Chain A
Amino acid sequence: MTEPRVSGDWRAWFAEHGPRLRMIARQWTRSEADADDVLQEAFIRFWKHQRHLPGDPNALVVTSIRRAALDLIRSSDRRTVREKAVAADADTVGWFEPESDPRLNALAESLGRLPEEQREVVVLKTWGELTFDQIGEQLAISPNTAASRWRYAMEALRRLISARSHA
């Protein structure tokens, strides 16, 4: 895993890591606007107060994003509603830049069909660049559970892509 640079100009760091961090924020929020708000708050908090803390700074910034997302949910007191809404209406194609390759678009769409708990692991591992141990800490599950969810997600994505290609 590439350890993010946490010194120097925040703009360079933000330009390099902003997209994947926003992706992480997006999976825990209801809308694009909420994702931007969460990313903004989490990044400022991380840069001001947490980037010099011991430990993996990448895990710290992901934790900061998760906390900001949970704070946003609690502040609106709509957690249950939000979770159902995200699970049901996850338009994951919009989470990514448009691709010319239809297979990539199909994969992005299939990601939205995964159970939320599996998609969470996929996002944290692929774009959060976390290990299964770190994912387990983030989600309060064991590393083995995180690895299992990852495997199930890969199998599910493979099935979904195959089904689309045969349709």
Chain B
Amino acid sequence: MPEPQDDIEIALSALRPRAPGPEVAQAVAASLDSRPQERGKVILWFSGLTAAASLALAFLVLPEEEASIAPLAVTSELPIRADNSVAAAKVVADAAPVGRSFARSAPPPAPQAASAAGSLGAGASAKAMAAVPPEARYRLAGASRSPTSLELLEPVRLRDGTYVRPVRLRREHSTQWEAAGSGARLVRYRPEESTLLLPLETY
């Protein structure tokens, strides 16, 4: 037989508290339901701006350096032996960084870059040039860089609850070196790729 105290507990649980008025639910809905909609609008709004912002950013951070490439027509004849240059060019091409930051590209080094320019001074470089027979010298035949391509990815939510839109920037550099004697060409290909996170959060 239940204790009288238990009867009181059971009776208490039978009492039905009054429900909140509809105005409470409306006020809660105004606060909680408006949030994702506003966020959606913000994301939508930012999505439209993202392309423009990315383009502007790309031109600011990755300025076209046609002017700096064009003078490569200077086409200084650089000394390097054909057999060594092939290996050097491959090494340089294989080591071409992918996904590095937006550091401005220096004028592309000649295929002998790894050896002569780095370790030897100007005088030594001149000596090396003189020591190489003319038929083994390479000259810069051309340089090109593709337009920067932008890839806008879907917004993602970070751990702190904010939203960002990843933007992938890609472009390709290539320089062509021609052997003075044989006319053989070496192509140095350097893809460059970076990813930016554009914030979409506004509150």
Contacts and interface: CB of A to CB of B under 8 A. Distances in A.
Contacts of A6: none
Contact of B23 (A10, A36, A151, A161): A36
B19 A19 contact: yes
Interface string B79-90: 000000000000
B157 to A, nearest CB: 14
Nearest to B33: A10
B23 A108 contact: no
B20 A104 contact: no
Contacts of B4: 158
B24 A39 contact: yes
Given A126-B12, A154-B8, A22 B32 contact: no
A21 B29 CA distance: 17
Interface in A38-73: 39-40, 43-44, 47-48
Interface stretch (A77-85, A91-99, A133-141): A91-99
Nearest to A36: B24
B14 A104 contact: yes
Contacts of A48: 31-32, 35
Given A39-B24, A154-B5, A158-B4, A108 B15 contact: yes
B5 A18 contact: no
A23 B13 CA distance: 12
Interface residues of A, number: 36
A22 B5 contact: no
- With a 10 A CB-CB cut-off, give which of B8, B19, B23, B35 has the most chain A CB atoms: B8
B168 to A, nearest CB: 31
Interface in A1-43: 10-11, 14, 18-23, 26, 36, 39-40, 43
Interface string B1-31: 0001100110111111111110111011101
A97 B20 contact: no
Contacts of A39: 20, 24
Contacts of A111: 12
Nearest to A107: B11
A21 B19 CA distance: 9
A40 B17 contact: no
A151 B4 CA distance: 12
Nearest to B16: A97
A122 interface: yes
25 contacts: A11-B25, A11-B29, A18-B19, A18-B24, A18-B25, A19-B18, A21-B20, A22-B18, A23-B18, A36-B20, A36-B24, A39-B20, A40-B24, A44-B28, A44-B32, A94-B18, A95-B17, A95-B18, A97-B16, A97-B19, A104-B15, A108-B15, A126-B12, A127-B17, A158-B5
Interface of B: 4-5, 8-9, 11-21, 23-25, 27-29, 31-32, 35
Given A99-B15, A154-B5, 13 more contacts: A11-B29, A22-B19, A22-B20, A44-B32, A96-B15, A96-B18, A97-B18, A97-B19, A107-B15, A122-B12, A126-B13, A157-B8, A158-B5
